[in-house]
Structure 1
């Protein structure tokens, strides 16, 4: 009788159903509460309009400028150049496979505007300690510790051959630290990073010649060139361009170059045309989950979770502001 009763109770009990599917990193980011998203102010956005594609499709590229105190003189120059409309009528002149797309004045004869600053090689890194803060958009982040560090599943710092003190995020940007107690910190050359073209040392460039990384992260460039931003929209308009056949991917004929119609600060565009974007704040609960999902992609597709991630494989999520 007892056996029959137990069988009846088991039959009446609801089935537990299938286990919930693991969430992808993009699903995790999409569920982040509004308080964990940081507005990017229009003055921190650089909007580049290329000539339309052969199909007539517009080609807009949006760059988030790196927050202070990183690369300060070069970022100041970029704002000066944009306000002077210096890039209008210039072009993308170099596209090197698995490396960079570079733009500026192909003639090297266009006069630069007055008031540009001269950066030094020391400015490729910034000293951050517990008293420093970084303003990202209109939100101030107190750096204690200096960076929101990227950690492995076991809690240890991710091992990074280019940044012995660890890697993490500041103001939405991936950064590295020197280690051994040094406060030296710098933004990294991940996919989409925007840097300043220059000649041989001690030249550091003014910011009139820029490039975006369109290939595997060239981290060997870290601390050798000023990183001034990252492409957060429209990278496909650069990464899909024909590769140059000249040395280092430069286009050999003028007609191969891709014309730049304009480059403007978001704050200088009409209000209706300004990008309204946000990034997911570092240090929040959602970013912690996002990092864990990038480090440990779950079955059924992944057979062997990696247990860690390269810093450049954790792109900080960006979304249109609601």
Structure 2
């Protein structure tokens, strides 16, 4: 019997491999982004970076918040105003005066008495959605303030249409509660109702999004009062308030601030406000102090793999892939670039 058992073991050894192959480790979304080739990253122009320096914290540490402004054709009337406000150093000496839990941190002139620079545009509500430069109604002193060339407008339309058709989820549907459809275009999350119609696209209120504070309609805000989303994406604000950018660095300097105790999170005590030292477009800073960033192209295969991994976490910590993701839960990777 002993000899029969040994013979059976020996026979089995010829059938089974000597060593079982270890399964290849499944990369996390962050690892996929980190491994993306250099050609899949897109440089962000310094002219599109808004740099906000807050007063140092209680331990004397510097606090810098960097905002990427939205590309054309979205929200350009307000962004034109923001550029003028920054050039005029209008925000210097103002403050972060509202921090509402799970919602926004807002900054501007708490007194509401500081005079605005001349020549700011009055932007109509249609611009929350309308991205067709030919039909723009934005005006400064009654004159159109936005004009793109036909070639540029066509290029933007083709890029957004292509992004809308691209399937980055391997055949899975990405349902959205606030828009008929969503997509990524030029590195930004966008809602749309028909990719073929120029005025049916709009930017989304994801975490870190920067919007323009306003009063009741028909007021749309000048851009002097801005806020950053520091909580769960308030998508109900989409198409109701202008989205002009997103925080790409330093969001912790806003999200960690004490919550205001007044209505809507406004600080009741002026001493609680966080002073703003300056807000500048990066190109107006000394060359050595200009931040440099790049984002992972949302047209790249690397981003497609990254987005799929966000929707279907297969890395070791997770037990069950979700099978989908809210578009705001797929933040576009952004990374700093060392100065050359």
Same fold flag (TM > 0.5): yes
User: 1: distance between equivalents of 2:330 and 2:167?
Assistant: 12
Q: Distance in 2 between matches of 1:308 and 1:94?
A: 34
Identify the residue that residue 137 of structure 1 maps to in structure 2. none
Aligned to 2:242: 226
Paired residue for 2:38, among 31, 34, 38? Answer: 34
Deviation at 1:90, TM superposition (A): 0.3
- TM-score, normalised to structure 2, is 0.86
Q: CA deviation at 1:283?
A: 1.5
As a proportion of its length, which structure holds more helix?
Answer: 2
CA deviations on 1:2-39 (whole Å, 9 max, x unpaired) are 9899777679x662442122111000000111111000
Matched, 1:56 2:67: no
Uncovered stretches (5+) of structure 1, i.e. residues with no partner: 135-140
Tell me, in whole angstroms, the C-alpha distance in 2 between the residues paired with 1:4 and 1:298: 36
**What runs of 5+ residues in structure 2 fail to find an aligned partner?**
1-6, 134-150
CA distance in 2, matches of 1:213, 1:278: 21
Identify the range of structure 1 (147-156 vs 179-188) with the bigger mean alpha-carbon deviation: 147-156
Secondary structure (helix, strand or coil) at the match of 2:25 reads coil
Counterpart of 2:155? 133
Match of 1:293 among 291, 309, 329: 309
**Mapping of 1:115-154 within 5 angstroms?**
115-127=119-131, 132-134=154-156, 142-143=158-159, 145=161, 147-148=163-164, 151=167, 153=169
| Cα distance in 1, alignment partners of residues 332 and 14 from structure 2 | 50
- Out of 79, 84, 96, the position equivalent to 2:83 is 79
Deviation at 1:126, TM superposition (A): 2.9
Q: CA deviation at 1:252?
A: 0.2
SS at match of 2:22: coil
Contact kept, 8 Å, 1:128 with 1:185, in 2: the verdict is no
SS of 1:122 mapped into structure 2? helix
Aligned residues: 313
CA 86–298 in structure 1, closer or farther in 2 if over 3 Å, else same? same
Q: Is the 8 A contact 1:149 1:157 kept in 2?
A: no
Distance 1:90 1:196, change over 3 A: same
